[in-house]
Structures are given as C-alpha cells and as structure tokens.
Amino acid sequence: MTAPEGRGIAGRTDTFRILHVSTGNVCRSPITERLTRHALVDRLGDPLSGGLIVESAGTWGHEGAPMEANAEVVLADFGADASGFVGRELLDEHVIRADLVLTATRDHRAQVISMGHSAGLRTFTLKEFTRLVRAIDPATLPDARDEGVVERARALVRAAAALRGWLLAPTAEADEVYDPYGAPITFFRSIGDEINQALDPVVTALTGVRAPH
C-alpha cells in the first residue's frame, strides 16, 4: 500500500509539516502555531527555505473563525505575528500530510490517532514531545547544515517515538495544556508562557540552532 501524496513519514522529502491541534483552533493551537513560526524565523531566518511548514486545526474547529482576541494579545507579547489567521476543523487530509502532530492534551492526541493514517508514531502532546526531545542526544541526529533541517526533523520524530514507552510523564496532568477559552488575559498569558517554554527545546532540536539571546 502506497502512502498518499505529501504524507508525513512516508511521503515527500522536501518539506516537513508540523500540525498543532487543540479543540476550537482559536486559542491554544493558533498561539502554538504562530509561536513556532516565530521561533523558526529567529533560528532560520525563513523556515520555508528549510522546508518547515507549520499549521494548526481543531478537533471541534471553528472553521473560518479568527483567533480569540486574547490569543492575539499573547502573540503580540512575544513579538509574533497573529495576522491572517483563519480557524480550521481538523480533517483527514491535515493528518495525512503532517510529519509531526503536536496536540494540546492527551484527549486531542487520542482523537488524532483514532483518525487512522498511521498517525500514532508521529502524534504527541506538545509537552510529551518536549519531555522526549530533552532526553535525545543532539549528536545522534543528522546535522541540519549537512543533511538539511527536514532530515533532522524526521530523525527527531523517530527518536521521540522510540523513547515514548520508556520515558513516562510524572503525572497525567504534566502533558496537558489547559484551555484558556473565555478566561481573562492573565490566564491566557500564563498559557502562552507555558507553550513558549515547551516549544523552545523542540524548535532547537528540530533545527539544531539555539534561540538567539
């Protein structure tokens, strides 16, 4: 059986798609998408030149909706671009094309995996992936300067999947990013900080470049 065109692990080799998933695709996953893009620009200048594409969707996505105003404020705090965002409902095609799916919660992860498409080995909660990435020796990954960011990113996902059964979360809640929908800006900002801290080691591992200081 051949993989669909553009599919993650078994598909095209010139791009690497990261899909962030939450519930409505108006709070957590838009923040995570745009903070990821912002971090990639800091490290690579232009993520597309390295073949990295960052998207998001929601399991109960508000198709066509803008992100929440408080989410935009959080992104502005980090200097990230919130413009042009449009909410999407999670579809099979999004999962099929993704090389790495990072979800806000374990329930979202379970929903993505239940869609099929051999998604289990490339779907993690964001915080789970951060924990696994921290345990991977960067020296065991391809050098992005020699073999490209895409090859390094693919190797990182394989290494994280291999570690998953050995490196469990200290508590069930440790892998959750809670929903700030309807909450005051202070809670949105705490969630933004949480997401940003979880993303930093992930983007460093993906690109092989530390955040500039």
> In CATH, what number is assigned to the domain containing residue 175?
3.40.50.2300
Domain boundaries, position 190: 14-205
What is the reported pLDDT for 13?
62
> Does a structural domain hold residue 143?
yes
Q: Contact, 75 vs 28, CB < 8 A?
A: no
Tokens of 39: 């971090």
> Does a structural domain hold residue 210?
no
What is the reported pLDDT for 2?
31
The Cα 70–Cα 75 span in angstroms is: 9
- Contacts of 113-116 with C-beta under 8 Å, sequence gap 24+, read 115/90, 116/92
> Does a structural domain hold residue 169?
yes
Looking at the chain, the number of H-run helices and the number of E-run strands are 9, 4
> Does a structural domain hold residue 119?
yes
The Cα 54–Cα 85 span in angstroms is: 12
Which backbone phi and psi does 99 adopt, to 5 degrees? -90, -25
The Cα 97–Cα 110 span in angstroms is: 18
State the amino acid at position 89 in one-letter form. Answer: E
> Does a structural domain hold residue 212?
no
Instruction: Please provide the average confidence, as pLDDT, over all residues in the chain.
Output: 92
> Does a structural domain hold residue 2?
no
> Does a structural domain hold residue 105?
yes
Residue 11 buriedness (CB in 10 A; 0-12 / 13-18 / 19+):
middle
More confident residue, 47 or 128: 128
Q: How many domains does the chain have?
A: 1
What is the reported pLDDT for 188?
98
Task: Supply the pTM of this predicted model.
Answer: 0.92
> Does a structural domain hold residue 6?
no
